[in-house]
Amino acid sequence: MDIKEIKEYLGSDWTAVQECINDVLHSDISLLNSTNNSILAHSGKQLRPLLALVFARACAADGKVTEATVRYAAASELLHNATLLHDDVADDSDQRRGAPTIMSLMGPAVSVLVGDYWLVKAMRLILGGDSDMDSKVTRIFSKTLSDLAEGELLQLQKAQHGDTVEEDYLRIIYSKTASLFEATCFSAALSVKASEEVVKAAVEYAVALGIAFQIKDDILDYAGTESVGKPLGVDILEQKITIPLLGALSNVSEEKAAEVRKMVRDIVGHPEYRDDIVRFVKENSGLEYAVSRLEDYVAKAVDALAVLPESQEKSFLVELAHYTAVRDK
């Protein structure tokens, strides 16, 4: 699937989102403008606003987006990048999307401040229409911010103890990834006055898609290439037990699983354990298990679209779900 092709298909709607982002970020402070421009120059796939526009058009009675759709789509991208700027500080990351982070170039304080700026501008867009709909959307985006914080702290807690189980893992990736997909599609459906049935489908699709997206990221951490824009095996070095490792742990004895979990807990002092754990995952079918769970969530996402009428946009939504499973970065 070609993301660029979808952006071209969206035409003036996509242009409107880009203009909305640029306009709301503009400042008379040259340092802030140059920093924002640097972030926008390495903006990645911009999957969330793309998803918002496609879903809104797929469920709109006339197939057209609204002014609110554009605002909410732009806000989803701003909020996503705000959390990345904060995450880079929390994780001490020096690279993001294959480029130096703002944190590494300008320091943690600047990264936090710029993240705060993007976050506030996202909320300004969400509240730009002064309507009951904006209030509903504000609540779900606020919930997303709460989910993000809780997910980060739960992940930290679990990393310290090395006792992550699949239920914990799914809660963490819902909170840190799928919750923003959920807010994006919910707000998009609401913006075109979709029926309650379609809004529910938007949430089901988005949550399944977001979980699948993160599972694929976690697979790439074990089996990807440097094209993902970060060193391989970084999750293990950060003591994160993700789905490939959970799958491998389920296939060995309790004694062996306890031994590997101890290696994860001790890895800060023994980074050489990383290669041993990666080998353990590959030798005990951890990647195969993760791929199976990934396919389950892709299927859930596609099934949720059954309520939508046939259209090019619906076809794109199906393609986006399948793209999640085959992407290599």
Three-point CA angle 283, 295, 80, nearest 5°: 100
Domains of the chain, residue spans: 3-326
How far apart (Å, rounded) are the C-alpha atoms in residues 218 and 33? 34
With 80 as the cut, is the pLDDT of residue 299 above it? Answer: yes
Q: How many CA atoms lie within 13 A of 42 on its CB side?
A: 15
CATH number of the 3-326 domain: 1.10.600.10
Q: Find where tokens 């103890």 sit.
A: 161
Fill in the amino acid letter for 327: R
**Whole-prediction pTM value?**
0.93
Residue 109's SS3 state is helix
Mean pLDDT of 262-288: 95
Residue 130: pLDDT band (50, 70, 90) is low
Mean pLDDT of 15-28: 96
With 60 as the cut, is the pLDDT of residue 303 above it? Answer: yes
pLDDT (0 to 100) of residue 228: 44
Q: Find where tokens 């951890």 sit.
A: 286
197-236 tens-digit pLDDT: 999 999 999 999 999 999 999 999 998 654 444 566 789 9
Residue 165's SS3 state is coil
Mean pLDDT of 74-95: 91
Give strand ranges (E) for 23-176: 95-96, 99-100
167-188 tens-digit pLDDT: 999 999 999 999 999 999 999 9
How far apart (Å, rounded) are the C-alpha atoms in residues 164 and 179? 20
Residue 54: pLDDT band (50, 70, 90) is very high
**320 near 1, Cβ under 8 Å?**
yes
103-120 tens-digit pLDDT: 999 999 999 999 999 999
pLDDT (0 to 100) of residue 58: 97
Cα–Cα distances (Å) from 254 to 108, 164, 251, in that order, read: 41, 14, 9
The DSSP symbol for 105 reads H
**317 near 54, Cβ under 8 Å?**
yes
Kindly state the helix (H) or strand (E) to which residue 12 belongs, with its residue range: helix 12-25
**103 near 89, Cβ under 8 Å?**
yes
**249 near 257, Cβ under 8 Å?**
yes
Measured in whole angstroms, the distance separating CA 266 from the mean position of its chain's CA atoms is 28
With 50 as the cut, is the pLDDT of residue 256 above it? Answer: yes
